[in-house]
Structure 1
Amino acid sequence: MKYVSLDAQVGDLTGVLDPRRYLRDLPSFARELPPGARTFATDAAHYDFHSSRCVKDLTVSLLQRSGEGELVVEFRHNCWKHDRDLVIRYTGVSSFAVDLPADERGRHRGTVILDEILPHQEGCSHEIACWEGSLTLVCRDLRASWTQATCSNEC
């Protein structure tokens, strides 16, 4: 990640997740982001660790191609923090790399640490860091929506 630190030091404490540099510089490049990416990246709750709309602690639950150049990534809520699931629909995907373990059915899984959306000549890049690996893609735009959580016996 260019701005978000996954291993910052605050005083004597190391290994701190720190999006402050990204949040400080985001206003300078937000207008360069496509509309959907800009809306998602600049949402005040996105990096608020106490918010139920913060991406931290969501779990990647589904990666699915939905058409030519389109990709859907679904994130399951953390029962102790979120009341909704997150679905991100990417359009005009030109690059996609997944470095996450797969379960017994071949579905990629990972718990989100933080993400970073940046302007790119093809639209935007979106890097999602997980404890287990990462997802990185370049797309024309994305649309993020929070949906009603589907609870199971895990909650």
Structure 2
Amino acid sequence: MKYVTAVWDDGGFDVDPRVYLAELPRLRADLPPGARSFATDPGHYDIAGANRCVKDLELAGVHLATDKSGGLVLDFAPNKFKHESGLRVRYSGVRHFSIDYDHSIDWMSVDTVLLDEILPDDDGGCRHEIALTDASITVRCADLQAVWGAWAEEPLGSP
């Protein structure tokens, strides 16, 4: 990630969104509408807050479109100690998707979100990077839609 710090450091995780939050007012105009709304949500980086902060969400599902629609859905389950609901992120016009695993923290049963960062991409879309406890996800897409709530009950359909 370019601005957000989310790394393993001396036996603990060092997470800090402050540099990104300082840059976000300059970046926001170049983000597509859904990405801008998600990135600028007041609770998105409120680590002490419970409901709208991505920190500690658990990666629960990755759903790729099997056609050439460019759809992708990532589901994140709530952390039972912090969140009231999960998060579903639907990406449209996906041009790149990768999950890179580190496999250095083998004592955790699931990958949880440390923090994320959404930046404008050269073609008018966005680049969403998500740092997990033992992996990182990168998505380059036209836009994204983030929905908090009872995502498990919604049909996936086309993002």
User: In 2, distance between residues paired with 1:6 and 1:128?
Assistant: 9
* Structure 1 length-normalised TM: 0.83
Whether 2:125 is the aligned partner of 1:126: answer no
Aligned to 2:45: 47
Report the AA paired with residue 131 of structure 1.
Answer: T
What TM-score results when the alignment is normalised by the length of structure 2?
0.81
Structure 1 match to 2:141: 139
Corresponding residue of 1:105: none
Matched residue pairs, number? 140
> Structure 1 pair 7/64, CA: closer, same or farther in 2 (3 Å)?
closer
1:27-38 map, 5 Å? 27-38=25-36
1:61-87 Cα offsets, whole Å, 9 max, x none, are 100024520000000000010001100
How much has 1:148 moved relative to structure 2?
A: 2.6
Deviations 1:42-72 (A, max 9, x none): 0010000122210000011100024520000
1:24 to 9, 22, 25: 22
Structure 2 residues not aligned, in runs of 5+: 103-109, 153-159
After TM superposition, list the pairs within 5 Å mapping 1:55-94 onto structure 2: 55-66=54-65, 67=67, 68-94=69-95
Q: Is the CA contact (8 Å cut-off) linking 1:86 and 1:144 kept in structure 2?
A: yes
Whose strand fraction is larger, Structure 1's or Structure 2's?
Answer: 1
In the alignment, which residue of structure 2 is the partner of 1:153?
none
Unaligned runs of 5+ in 1: 102-108, 151-155
